[in-house]
Structure 1
Amino acid sequence: MRFVIRRLLLFAAALFGISVLVFAALRILPGDVAVVMAGTNATASRVAELRTEFGLDRPYPIQYLDWAGGLLHGDLGMSALTGRAVAAQVGRRAAITFPLIVMSLVVALAVGLPLGCAAVITRNPRLRGFFHVLAIAGGAVPALWSGLLLLLLFGQGVGLLGVLPSQGFPADGWAGAPGRAFASLILPAFATGFVAAAGIMRYTRAALEDIAAEGGPVDMAMACGMTRTQALLRVGLRLATPQLVSVVGLTFASMITGVMVIENLFALPGLGALLVGDVGNRDLVAVQSELFLLAAFFLTLGLIVDLAHRALDPRLAAEEE
């Protein structure tokens, strides 16, 4: 319980620090925020109107407290470009981005874990060398390039087979056309998942090889009647689970940046497209809240991984005691 309380306090302090940094970053930039939002050809009256509308004429501490208070109540502010609530816009885009990230992670685990285990189990030196080269080559392939290859192979209208949607997302979303929505995310998920699978494969292989080199748990399992393969899969993989949980959590977080690139390639209206569009349109009030949400997402993942690692590995508690 003390460990959980400490982590929650650190999490709250980190969120506060991130909010201050994001707020300050948009105000220490050269020029007036209202002038940047209004554009170079805006009149002085338009700039003054924006400054008053978004509270930019008030002292910085008051602006921060108003913004932070809104965050605590789920109010992310209003978009200067569309006049809509930022929370509503983020919610619609997140319904595309987060399912895509989850699907990509499922692909990465379905490919990376078995190949990582196979690279350790096999005794064929040529096959081991093949797995080693595959892990290195897979990690070196950019998600954009793998996405282009999948488009040329399977994309409707441009691919050789043309069996899956290549661009866009259904206007009525998951509620109106769940089948088409799911199909629209298959190619992007594989494009991102294949690249992440190479990293999971390398970490799985390294973790199992370290456990096998220690000899104790694996040898004891083999002495109890298990084969080497059974000992590695049943005992070694279970002992490697805490480390793999950390790797999967970091992979999940890193997929956000990869997904943003893939969203542009497949014309998906997700969070990446929203953030890029708001930056390009100088909607800095919306960008401020969107950046904070992304940072908070990374911190939340780190907290979950930390707590899961602690729960799965009792040795950490014993070391502190």
Structure 2
Amino acid sequence: MNTGLRITAFAAALAATFGTAYGVGSGVGEISPEPTSSAHGEHAGAARAEKGGGHEGSHDGGRAATPSGGLQISDGGYTLDLKTPHLQAGKRADLRFAVVRNASGRQVTGYTREHDKELHLIVASRELTEYRHLHPTRAADGTWSTPVDLPQAGGYRVFADFKPKGGEALTLGADLAVSGAYEPKALPARHTTARVDGYEVELGGGLTPGKAGELTLTVAKDGKPVRDLQPYLGAYGHLVALRSGDLAYLHVHPNGEPGDGKTEPGPGISFTATAPSPGAYRLFLDFKHQGKVRTAAFTVHTQGTGEKADSIAEPEHSH
């Protein structure tokens, strides 16, 4: 074959190849920047639970599960704009942020109050040894701010739990860096008893992946059951669960509320929660007694993971 024929044959083959590729591309449609089953899919939490179940619920047959809260900085048409992405360990400073409506680019100023507040802010260290439940103030332009003092250097996660007016409840998360001398800390040992300021809180029940279950936290002081807990955020207790590793956020609410005629002010506080996956979780209970809010923290492992779940270790002294 002479040079001219070889070039003609090569051009024809090249055209056929590109033609085939075009046909295949047209057949499969537009390529998404992320696969339909995204990396967050494995963190799937259940659909919203019934009243008392908080933001987490149970799987419903063939329905696709939704990602756990706090893993995304943008969701449902809203984005968390963390205006203070860096802080210094041990130095009190204002943490500022806003929620932005993606369609307009404007900061949200209208919220629906839930549990006595327009927005709940959670700050937790990546190692889950530091935890803050804060209630920032909102300026007229939609900028939120709150003073915070974080003693440990390292990576933190900021969670904004809110419901925009006319929208659905959301939990958005963003990373916060705290500078200073960093010392790695291990996840606290598993336990079902926590002590804080002379109070002892006992955890009953457990977490089962993909299945709603009941958790009961019983509060005692000086060895005596506390039967006069005070309402805090519209309930006798407020529970947040964070999954070790990626800090997937489970915000669960108590079963019952003050004044409903059947919920007692202690010593037990009952919650319904669903763990989105097997693993270790940190549970943080806020409760109010004698005019002061205290936080009891626990480390638990989900049931059915091949290990005994929620084994009792030494009681943890919470902050």
Structure with the larger RCO, 1 or 2 (CA within 8 Å, 6+ apart): 1
Is TM > 0.5 for Structure 1 vs Structure 2? Answer: no
With normalisation by structure 1, the TM-score equals 0.22
- Between Structure 1 and Structure 2, which shows a larger proportion of helix residues? 1
- Between Structure 1 and Structure 2, which shows a larger proportion of strand residues? 2
